[in-house]
């Protein structure tokens, strides 16, 4: 077994890693969503977001195995951060660096590995997004491009740790965070020629809740609706609060028929929530549903504009019916 060398800028790299204040922190949905997505897209046994510390590999997010850290000198990722692109090990038993590695000859019996360095703005490679499988496999150019795209998402998520991208009240993405995540997800759909849909929500009669019950109750309504969205949609969907009582969800690999099913699910969950909470008012919403059209929508903002317009059309129609 060959232990990984240390990068020439190891001191600078460690300083950059420590400045993130991410080591030994709790799991976060922003990274867990990414590893779930990667595991589903590649169909591998294990996916991890790791950070290479002085003497250890620390795991921020993992799918497929239970592990929190391992020695750096036995890690594949320690080798991966020495390069500028993906480290691909098609069959670890045939690679002189890894054939007698304890993770190869023992559990979990690693055979395939692909690890992309995660790079921070000063150029330091602080960790990896890596794929692991129990069987040898090839890794095509298309696979490599997809992993690089996901690696950019990981770097964006890491940057988001240091930026205000989470809505303080509801603990879902704020406008900035949503746009950053949605942009990467939409680019993946474009690359894979997969459909995508955007739901633009606005709470109905929200002003009346604030006026009658107070702003603290209005905040509880916003938190409640964010929970309804999290319960109704999939873990890989991007959910955000744009501001005020406006919420948005980007659904990847979702056509119109699937969108309608999710809307029905949302309605059932919303009704159950209202019955359970019985706060003297119901959480109601209007929604605009937009199917992504690459010829029409050149940006996330284009999708949001269409969603806002369609949501307002539905809200206006509801008001007209209530006056009849």
| Contact criterion met (CB below 8 Å) for 113 and 3 | no
Q: Is 60 helix (H, G, I), strand (E, B) or coil?
A: strand
Residue 322 CA to residue 250 CA, distance in Å, equals 30
d(CA 287, CA 309): 10
pLDDT of residue 227: 96
Closest to 47 measured CA to CA, from 32, 28, 27: 32
Distance separating alpha carbons of residues 286 and 191, to the nearest angstrom: 31
Token pair in block for residue 92:
């670890």
CB atoms < 10 A from the CB of 34, how many? 24
Say how far apart CA 307 and CA 201 lie, in whole Å.
Answer: 8
Rg (CA), the chain: 23
**Nearest in space to 92 (alpha carbons), one of 75, 108, 78, 109:** 109
Tokens of 116: 């992309």
Query: What is the pTM assigned to this prediction?
Result: 0.58
Low-confidence ranges of the chain (pLDDT < 50): none
All domains in the chain, ordered by first residue: 10-140 (3.30.450.40), 175-323 (3.30.70.270)
| 208-220 tens-digit pLDDT | 999 999 999 999 9
List, in sequence order, every beta strand (DSSP E) within the chain: 46-52, 56-63, 69-71, 87-89, 112-119, 125-133, 196-204, 238-243, 246-252, 284-291
In the block, which residue shows the tokens 């991410």?
22
156 strand-pairing partners: none
- Across the chain, mean pLDDT equals 92
57, 69 in Cβ contact below 8 A?
Answer: yes
Say what the pLDDT of residue 181 is.
Answer: 78
Please give the Cα distance from 286 to 157 (Å, whole number): 30
Return the pLDDT at 253: 84
Bridge-based pairing of strands 246-252 and 238-243 is antiparallel
Q: 211: which 2 tokens?
A: 């006026």
**Size (the chain), residues:** 324
Nearest to 200 by CA among 312, 119, 110: 312
**Closest C-alpha among 242, 172, 177, 238 to residue 203:** 242
Contact indicator for 118, 157 with CB cutoff of 8 Å: no
Token pair for residue 265? 């699910």
Q: Look-up: residue for tokens 């129990």? A: 134
């Amino acid at each position: 077994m060959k232990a990984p060398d240390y990068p020439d800028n190891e001191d600078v790299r460690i300083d950059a890693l420590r400045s993130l204040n991410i080591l030994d922190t709790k799991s976060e949905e922003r990274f867990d969503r990414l590893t779930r997505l990667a595991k589903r897209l590649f169909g591998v046994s294990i996916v991890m977001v790791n950070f290479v510390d002085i003497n250890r590999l620390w795991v921020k997010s993992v799918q497929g195995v239970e592990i929190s850290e391992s020695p750096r000198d036995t890690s594949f990722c320690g080798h991966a951060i020495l390069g500028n692109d993906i480290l691909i090990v098609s069959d670890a038993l045939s690679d002189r660096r890894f054939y007698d590695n304890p993770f190869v000859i023992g559990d979990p019996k690693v055979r395939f590995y692909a690890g992309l360095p995660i790079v921070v703005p000063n150029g330091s490679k602080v960790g990896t997004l890596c794929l692991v499988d129990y069987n040898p496999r090839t890794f095509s150019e298309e696979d490599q491009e997809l992993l690089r795209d996901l690696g950019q998402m990981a770097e964006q998520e890491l940057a988001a740790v240091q930026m205000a991208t989470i809505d303080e009240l509801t603990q879902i993405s704020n406008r900035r965070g949503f746009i950053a995540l949605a942009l990467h997800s939409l680019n993946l759909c474009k690359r894979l020629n997969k459909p995508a849909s955007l739901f633009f929500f606005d709470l109905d009669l929200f002003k009346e809740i604030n006026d009658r019950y107070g702003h603290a109750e209005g905040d509880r309504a916003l938190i409640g609706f964010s929970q309804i969205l999290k319960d109704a949609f999939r873990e890989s969907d991007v959910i955000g609060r744009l501001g005020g009582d406006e919420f948005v969800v980007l659904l990847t690999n979702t056509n119109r028929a699937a969108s309608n099913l999710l809307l029905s699910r949302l309605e059932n969950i919303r009704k159950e929530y209202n019955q359970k909470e019985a706060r003297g008012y119901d959480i109601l919403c209007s929604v605009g549903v937009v199917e992504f059209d690459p010829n029409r929508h050149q940006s996330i903002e284009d999708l949001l504009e269409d969603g806002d317009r369609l949501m307002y059309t539905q809200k206006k129609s509801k008001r007209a019916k209530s006056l009849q």
